[in-house]
Amino acid sequence: MHVHNKASDPADDNRQDTSQPAKLAGEEARKHAQKNGFIRHWLKRLRRRIPPVAVVLFSLIVALGIGFVMFSEHVSNLQAPPADQKADAIIVLTGGKSRIETALELLSDKRGERLLISGVHPSTKREALQRVTRTDPALFACCVDLDRSALNTIGNAVESAKWIKQHNYKRIFIVTNNYHIPRSILELSRQVRNVELIPYPVINSDLKNNNWMRQGDTLRVLFTEYIKYIGALAHINLGQTDWSIFDTQSENH
């Protein structure tokens, strides 16, 4: 009996070699399709179980949270202008610690020719304010104006704009607490055109290196001011709604 050993055909070997990668690729494609199908299945279930309103609310909360962190970081990094920088005049918005003293120091250093103190209580006498701030009487008499009409930041902006236009000033230092700077500049920018508003932040607490996250009172102040800032932006964009009810003098602007 003769047994004939049939030699393997090289073409067959090549077909086996090329079919193996194709088989693996097909398996990967099936796994990928199964995975995508599983994800789509659960997304459909989530859409059925979670109302669209909840998704919108969640998205808004996330957006507000991110915005608050960005706002706080921006405020934390605000710095006073260089000591040699000057302006035509100075405006200070009352309502926070050390604001008036800082503005009077700028005036005393001749970094502005005149000062407006906006938001002075109607019952506060001029002489009493001069004494309590220990300002030179001659300097206070010649170069300090008092605004007793403003009750909030919007009022500060309106009254300050009148004063700026009256004196035809073009460069103004805006003195207020660092957390109040964004909204103050925003409101003033709506009232005046072609005027350079230079922020001069008063810094009473160290907010750098995320210190604001560990200070309960500071966190509350920052969040309250952030909500007011959002309200001011909405007021500008909508143009009709009266947001001043959220901006009271009793809350230190």
* Residue at 152 is within a domain: yes
Q: Could you say which residues of the chain have pLDDT below 70?
A: 1-50, 205-216, 239-253
At residue 232, the pLDDT reads 92
* Residue at 36 is within a domain: no
* Residue at 7 is within a domain: no
Strand partners, 176: 201
* Residue at 62 is within a domain: no
At residue 1, the pLDDT reads 46
At residue 45, the pLDDT reads 65
Which CATH number do you get for residue 194? 3.40.50.620
* Residue at 21 is within a domain: no
* Residue at 37 is within a domain: no
| DSSP code per residue over 93-140 | E-SSTTHHHHHHHHHHTTSSS-EEEET--TT--HHHHHHHTT--HHHH
* Residue at 25 is within a domain: no
How do residues 28-61 score in pLDDT, each as one tens digit? 655 555 556 666 666 666 666 667 777 778 788 8
At residue 209, the pLDDT reads 53
| E strand or H helix at 72 | helix 52-76
**How is residue 156 written in tokens?**
């500060």
Average pLDDT, the chain: 81
Q: Which domain holds residue 167?
A: 80-251
Report which DSSP code applies to 63.
H
**Structural domains of the chain, count:** 1
> What is the reported pTM?
0.73
At residue 60, the pLDDT reads 85
* Residue at 127 is within a domain: yes
* Contact partners, residue 232, CB within 8 Å, separation at least 6: 153, 183, 186, 187, 243, 247
At residue 236, the pLDDT reads 82
CA distances to 40, 65, 77, 177, 219 from 211, rounded to whole Å, are 43, 17, 12, 17, 9
At residue 251, the pLDDT reads 44
At residue 214, the pLDDT reads 56
